[in-house]
Amino acid sequence: MKKTPGRSGLIFDEPLLWEKGKKGRHGMSIPASDVPAAALPEALQGAGPDFPDLSEIDVVRHYTRLSQWNYGVDSGMYPLGSCTMKYNPKINEKVAATPELAAAHPMLGDEYVQGNLQIMFELQEYLAAITGLPGVSLQPAAGAHGELTGMLVFAACHRARHSKRTKILIPDTAHGTNPASAALCGYKPVPIKSGANGILRVESVAEVMDEETAGIMITNPNTLGLFETNIRQIAEIVHAKGGLVYGDGANMNAVMGVISAARCGVDVMHLNLHKTFSTPHGGGGPGAGPLCVTGELEKYLPIPRAVKDGDTYRLDFDCPDSVGRVHAFHGNFGVLLRAYSYIRTMGAENLKKASQLAVLNAAYIKEKLKGTLQLAYNRPCMHECVFSDGLQQEDKITTLDMAKRLIDHGYHPPTIYFPLVVHGAIMIEPTETECKEDIDQFIETVKLVVQEAKDNPELLRQAPVMAKMRRLDETRAARNPCLCG
């Protein structure tokens, strides 16, 4: 067994700055004042928080130590399924920070920001080429926001056709945001069970699709990491009843340059730039969920969009059928810049290769771990593979125990207990940016944890034992956060 990357070095405890401060400490020395001290205006006296007094070294150590508590993709593999936590090249951060682009005031007239508008226009074109869907809005700020905008487009289209539709079909392998977005638009989500092999059966859709149903929302690859191979037939059934097909493209990392959403029969699709296109995912930062639609639906997209007239670019507001604005100004422009830089630096061939490697890496893990952990569906996977704790049940070891023990060995755990259709799910998404040696080390570590589950189940039930924190009450932490000391 090779060494796991688990931590053994010095990770310091660190109190709050308020606990650390001592009255009279300073971060700098300044000469004594040579004028008499003046009292603060009354309104300011006693106002504001009581900041602690600290020296420079107190502050530097405090934040350096806290930064060492962080785990991110810059420190190690982050195999969180459904999230595409890949390494994003730093050049894209640099481009996004270019002052001429990033600091342009959003209210400058089009003639002063031709470069920015050109980038928006070209990014729209690139995303259209990637999905095969020619109409693109860069406004939505997240995947779920793209879905909501997509549902507004569905509603606008049905309204224009004088067709009253109240329901939407949502497979059980869809992302949880799908039914929420549909419900926000007034559609009643109708769940459909996936087949025994983890993908949607054509018959299940045919049974429920009717003329009161606005369409279907399909995540493809679905949240089991499986490709919905029946997508075309399903789209035909939905279209035949006047419905529309929404493709949740948040998992595009598996299929860039490999499939055309349009040719699969998808009418509307969002992409998560903060998964696939070089904005780091997680940490609560900004994202972007551009919406791509067929030529027929383009007129409903949010306004404004970047257009090109001859050699100049402008924002086009003249779109009477538009669903309106869904974001101020130009959307989350920094995220768009990263995506543009990523697509330009990769080029079409390498985008395709990235997807192929993402799938290869997941398939490799699936094959190597399938006897160690119970494989949920034994069929070719896309960018992620889903296991469960079925084989550990006899030792009464759960997915949670194994995930927590991985922390002791230096790994961020994979996604657990999602998707809901797999009991005790363990969902691993390695992404294309991990090399074989690192993936092998991860596989060996999972095997080690599974062996420990047999040899020392009590240890696993207590894990993590090496981390700064032990098992937390995650529900309470989320519902009832304690944000003060």
Ligand X SMILES: *Cc1c(COP(=O)(O)O)cnc(C)c1O
List of residues contacting ligand X (CB under 6 A):
82, 142-144, 175, 177, 219, 223, 248, 250-251, 272, 287, 289
CB of 35 to ligand X, least distance (A): 55
Which phi and psi (to 5°) does residue 141 adopt?
-95, 0
Burial 169-207, CB ≥16 within 10 A → b, else e: bbbebbbebbbebbeebebebbebebbeebbbbeebbee
- Kind of pairing, strands 312-316 and 167-171? unpaired
168 vs 208: CA distance, rounded Å: 10
Please identify, using beta-carbon distances, which residue of 287 and 413 lies nearer to ligand X: 287
206 vs 296: CA distance, rounded Å: 24
CB of 59 to ligand X, least distance (A): 34
- Kind of pairing, strands 135-137 and 291-293? antiparallel
Residue 182 in tokens: 């549909």
Please identify, using beta-carbon distances, which residue of 223 and 355 lies nearer to ligand X: 223
Of 275, 305, 250, 274, the closest CA to residue 131 belongs to 250
CB of 288 to ligand X, least distance (A): 9
Q: Which bin fits 329, alpha (ψ -120 to 50), beta or left (φ > 0)?
A: left
CB of 20 to ligand X, least distance (A): 36
Please identify, using beta-carbon distances, which residue of 250 and 359 lies nearer to ligand X: 250
Which phi and psi (to 5°) does residue 324 adopt?
105, -170
182 vs 217: CA distance, rounded Å: 9
Please identify, using beta-carbon distances, which residue of 251 and 278 lies nearer to ligand X: 251
338: helix, strand or coil? helix
Residue 195 in tokens: 């087949």
429 vs 132: CA distance, rounded Å: 26
Q: Are 440 and 454 in contact (CB under 8 A)?
A: no
CB of 143 to ligand X, least distance (A): 2
Please identify, using beta-carbon distances, which residue of 167 and 175 lies nearer to ligand X: 175
DSSP string, 242-253: T-EEEEEETTGG
Residue nearest ligand X, Cβ-based: 143
CB of 144 to ligand X, least distance (A): 3
Please identify, using beta-carbon distances, which residue of 71 and 418 lies nearer to ligand X: 418
Please identify, using beta-carbon distances, which residue of 113 and 133 lies nearer to ligand X: 133
CB of 200 to ligand X, least distance (A): 14
Cis check for the bond before 464: say yes or no (omega within 30 of 0). Answer: yes
CB of 292 to ligand X, least distance (A): 14
Which phi and psi (to 5°) does residue 247 adopt?
-105, 120
CB of 103 to ligand X, least distance (A): 26
Residue 166 in tokens: 């109240």
CB of 206 to ligand X, least distance (A): 24
Q: Are 410 and 465 in contact (CB under 8 A)?
A: no
CB of 479 to ligand X, least distance (A): 20
447 vs 454: CA distance, rounded Å: 11
Please identify, using beta-carbon distances, which residue of 223 and 341 lies nearer to ligand X: 223
Please identify, using beta-carbon distances, which residue of 222 and 441 lies nearer to ligand X: 222
Which phi and psi (to 5°) does residue 428 adopt?
-110, 125
Please identify, using beta-carbon distances, which residue of 250 and 268 lies nearer to ligand X: 250
109 vs 332: CA distance, rounded Å: 18
Please identify, using beta-carbon distances, which residue of 358 and 453 lies nearer to ligand X: 358
